[in-house]
Structure 1
């Protein structure tokens, strides 16, 4: 899917919101605003379009499906869902786990993607396929069954060459990489907060 990058801009300028634009509310015990986070997560899935293979469609759809589960709960109980943490706590009170499980899997999927891109940024000689395989092994793979693993394996094998991927991020490679690095750094911080919080919920999925 081709995207129109503005002159002098980067691929991230085409997103409605990036993770850099998601505040962390210290006054709410590092609460993460639900609306802003879901908008950033939706926007971030367009990175898979840049990878240019239908093999990544199931990965993208999985992330978007989990976004929908969380947003459905937010729409059903907006006053109780201002932050992701509040949304989960209030859903737990009514003995439901749909959105909570959605957030758990969304967090895992974003952790996988951020670790893959972080590895690729940090290791200039690594191809994307290597970075994604390494990240998959330490994030999603332990939670996937024998039916899901081949789908993700196919996606790993379908990643483009490193140079081709970065060329799609913008004409100014240094600028594009700096923006990517900032986005991933913000996502890593958010994922860390969510992983610590979800560990206290005790879901067995």
Structure 2
């Protein structure tokens, strides 16, 4: 894993191919979330695990990328029915399959885990990353993981770099790093909330 190169005067957010800030949400169509921008943004987020720097985070990153692929595969198979994430899943479920929908479920859990950890860490300037990630893991992914998977993720939490080392890698202007992250994470939190609500109502497969 190689960490992204931060442009001069920029932050980690500037390196993302797609930001959650710019993912279209159609409020007049049940908060429909545009498929390609959402998947591009989810993929971009996984570079954050490269900045965390430990191979222990590889399973976390690979799990999220694997779930993005399930959704992309369904989108490619039925593009006309997959312009937004919600329709993609509804139309897949009509075929009595749920590969992509299950992928979305796990992707949203992974996104929520990352969002909660980073949001808590930004909000608490004295808290170390390992503590923020451990707390977030306990309330998002851990209840759904088997006893075989839990140690793998626990190892990742323990391998978090020190807070000061991590933020330095996100950009040279620390005030801008925190400001950019706040805006980015607020957008991610909104999208996670929309998709969790959707899965709660539609995900009875």
Query: What CA distance in whole angstroms lies between the structure 2 residues aligned with 1:34 and 1:13?
Result: 21
Displacement of 1:5: 1.6
In the other structure, the counterpart of 2:39 is 38
Deviation at 1:202, TM superposition (A): 3.4
Q: 1:87 Cα shift?
A: 0.4
Runs (5+) with no aligned partner, structure 1 = none
Q: CA deviation at 1:4?
A: 2.1
Whether the aligned pair in 1 keeps the contact of 2:3 and 2:47 (CA below 8 Å) is no
Shift of 1:17: 0.7
Q: Which residue of 2 aligns with 1:150?
A: 151
- TM-score, structure 1 as length reference: 0.97
Asked if 2 retains the 8 angstrom alpha-carbon contact of 1:101 and 1:203, the reply is: no
Aligned pair 1:83/2:84, yes or no?
yes
The TM-score, its normalising length taken from structure 2, stands at 0.97
The CA deviation at 1:201 is 2.0
How many angstroms apart in 2 are the aligned matches of 1:3 and 1:138? 29
Taking the aligned partners of 1:151 and 1:28, their CA distance within structure 2 comes to 40
| Residue 13 (structure 1) shift | 1.1
Report the Cα distance in structure 2 between the residues aligned to 1:97 and 1:15, rounded to whole angstroms: 29
Give yes or no for the alignment of 1:110 onto 2:111.
yes
Q: Deviations 1:136-191 (Å, cap 9, x if unpaired)?
A: 00000000000100000000000000001100110100001111111110000000
Gaps of 5+ in 2: none
Q: Which residue is equivalent to 2:139?
A: 138
Distance in 2 between the 1:129 and 1:100 partners? 30
Indicate the residue corresponding to 2:178 in structure 1.
177
- Provide, for residues 67-118 of structure 1, a one-character-per-residue CA deviation record: whole Å limited to 9, x for no partner: 0000000000000000000001000100000000000000000000000001
Q: Would the aligned equivalents of 2:3 and 2:53 in 1 still touch at CA under 8 Å? A: no
Alpha-carbon offset, residue 3 of structure 1: 2.5
* Mapped partners of 1:127, 1:73: distance in 2: 39
Please tell me whether residue 15 in structure 1 is matched to residue 2 in structure 2.
no
Distance 1:87 1:128 in 2: 35
More displaced 10-residue stretch of structure 1: 16-25 or 60-69: 16-25
Q: Secondary structure in 1 aligned to 2:92?
A: helix
2:50 paired residue number: 49
